[in-house]
Amino acid sequence: MIMASSLRSVVDDVLARIVPSQEERNRVESVTELIRTLIDNEAKKLGLDVDIEVGGSVAKNTWLSKDADIDLFMLFSASIDRRKLGEYGLNIARKAVQGYQQRERYAEHPYLEAWVNDVRVNLVPCYKAGEGNWQSAADRSPFHTRYVVDKLKTTHLENNIRVFKKFIKGIDAYGAEIRIGGLSGYLCELLTIHYGSFEETLQGISEWRFGEIIDPERRYDGRIKEIQALFPAPLVVIDPVDKNRNVAAAVSKDRLAELIVASRLLLKKPSMCFFSDKVRASLTNLTKKLSIPYDIIIVEINTNEEIPDILWGELRKTQKALERLLRNNDFNVIRSAVWSDEREISAILISLESKNIAEISTRDGPPGDTEGVQPFLDKYARNSVIGPWVEEGKWTAGLKRHSTSAEALLKAALSDGGLHVGASRGLGDSLASSRVQNIQDSSLKRRADFSRFLEEFLDGRPRWLSRYYSSSSTVSST
């Protein structure tokens, strides 16, 4: 499909910024070979037979300038005990990148993330597996790389993929981590290959509905009901190398809804605002936005979980539990969100119509001509504050609320770690010592990273949507 001139202009501008220079390529290649050698040396010292394969966007030539991630897979013999795989892999990885900044991460099993000469490197242990004989989730990854590389030999869609990835990053939907719930790099590659170009990918996405199914290699050959039964998800993309896996399983309904609308808007009015990942926050704007006509309560939590995905899972569970608690006690929750520096402190923000509510609430009963009247009267005639009385033909009672302060309710619920309200057990001790207060009183506002998050939370709109409706650079396609 021939791209509209205005979209073509935007794409050309994006490509000028994201295609790696030869100097960058040389640096990334140098780091790759360095780490490959270090891993090989450490494995030999331990007497382990380990194959090393480069994966991810670097191997596929789909990485973005100044945003290279090197994925190095350490392929162990299938005879090694599953419990030992992570242990051996981490041991080799830590020694290989000794002296460099490193952090343990976790997918199905642990892997190591390191920064080597300003390049992020993921060192991932897996098995030497035949196709379909997976012992761990990471075993598929080398097959993913080979599949995409093979497709790109004939389609030459590398730059189309780069633009699509930059678009996904620009709308904050890139990453399959729990905290994002977005698209992985592999999913971006599959979608672009499936549709055949960046613009056709946008066109396809713009027509999606929840429950969309894409089967690139026709593994199910149109057996839609079977796919729906196996993968009840907002978006299903069958993995070309494993028909039992949905590549889009991590994509949340929220991110999917944003992706569909962003694709439509970009096609309608092409603009660079969809490709910006710059985050700006100002104290002036924040102070102004904090004069909001509703209340925000913040729960500050000292956290020490070292694996981000586990931490975010615990925080999300607690967020939902606290929302549910407030709603069950008649507080009108507008929205809530989670923030974390993934090291020492996290926070749950909850915006309410009001953090204080009246002591009396009404409980609607049955119409006066039904058999349900007697049980209603038996329940409320003696213990209601007002009534029961008849209004518009229906019985009604005025009851005293158990709690009229959202802050007090949350403090009481978290005093024992929030276990009785369904909060995460993994955060129990941290929640018991958490601080519940009005957002205006929080010292976290002095942190630049939290201030950016707070400003976006107060604005309510996704960043890309704010840019779209305020950008003077929006170009009409007509």
- What rounded mean pLDDT belongs to the chain? 91
Residue 247 has pLDDT above 80, yes or no: yes
Give the model's confidence band at 3: pLDDT under 50 very low, under 70 low, under 90 confident, else very high: low
List, by residue range, all CATH 1.10.1410.30 domains of the chain. Answer: 157-277
* CB neighbours of residue 84 within 10 Å: 12
**What topology is assigned to 157-277 in CATH?**
Poly(a)-polymerase, middle domain (1.10.1410)
- What was the pLDDT predicted at 287? 66
Phi, psi (5° rounding) for residue 51?
-85, 145
335 near 327, Cβ under 8 Å? no
Predicted confidence band of residue 278 (pLDDT cuts 50, 70, 90):
low
Q: Are 327 and 363 in contact (CB under 8 A)?
A: no
Give first-to-last CA distance, the chain, whole Å: 17
Lowest-pLDDT range of 28-37, 141-150, 291-300 = 291-300
Instruction: Enumerate the CATH 3.30.460.10 domain ranges in the chain, comma separated.
Output: 20-136
CATH for 284-356+404-466?
3.30.70.590
Residue 478 pLDDT class (50, 70, 90 cuts) = very low
Q: Which pLDDT belongs to residue 476?
A: 42
Instruction: Please give the pLDDT value at position 288.
Output: 67
Compute the average pLDDT of residues 383-410. 93
Question: In this predicted structure, which of 159-163, 222-226, 283-287, 294-298 has the lowest mean pLDDT?
Answer: 283-287
Q: Residue 200 pLDDT > 70, yes or no?
A: yes
H, E, C per residue of the chain: CCCCHHHHHHHHHHHHHHCCCHHHHHHHHHHHHHHHHHHHHHHHHCCCCCEEEEEHHHHHCCCECCECEEEEEEEECCCCCHHHHHHHHHHHHHHHCCCCEEEEEECCCEEEEEEECCEEEEEEEEECCCCCCCCCHHHHHHHHHHHHHHHHHHHCCHHHHHHHHHHHHHCCCECCCCCCCCECHHHHHHHHHHHCCHHHHHHHHHCCCCCEEECCCCCCCCCHHHHHHHCCCCEEEEECCEEEEECCCCCCHHHHHHHHHHHHHHHHCCCHHHHCCCCCCCHHHHHHHCCCCCEEEEEEEECCCCCHHHHHHHHHHHHHHHHHHHHHCCCCEEEEEEEECCCCEEEEEEEECCCECCCEEEEEEEECCCCCHHHHHHHHCCCCCEEEEEECCEEEEEEECCCCEHHHHHHHHHCCCCHHHCCCHHHHHHHHCCEEEEHHHCHHHHCHHHHHHHHHHHHCCCHHHHHHHHCCCCCCCC
24-70 pLDDT tens trace: 999 999 999 999 999 999 999 988 889 999 999 999 999 999 999 89
pLDDT number for residue 169: 96
Q: 360-400 domain in CATH 3.30.360?
A: no
pLDDT tens for residues 72-118? 999 999 888 888 888 899 999 999 999 999 988 776 678 899 999 88
**What is the predicted pLDDT for the residue at 477?**
40
Residue 359 has pLDDT above 70, yes or no: yes
Mean pLDDT is highest, among 222-226, 320-324, 446-450, 457-461, for 320-324
Alpha carbon distance 455, 439 (integer Å): 12
CATH number of 20-136: 3.30.460.10
At 306, is the pLDDT very low, low, confident or very high (cuts 50, 70, 90)? confident
**How is residue 175 written in tokens?**
């990453």
**Across 440-461, average pLDDT:** 89
Per-residue tokens: 418: 């929030």
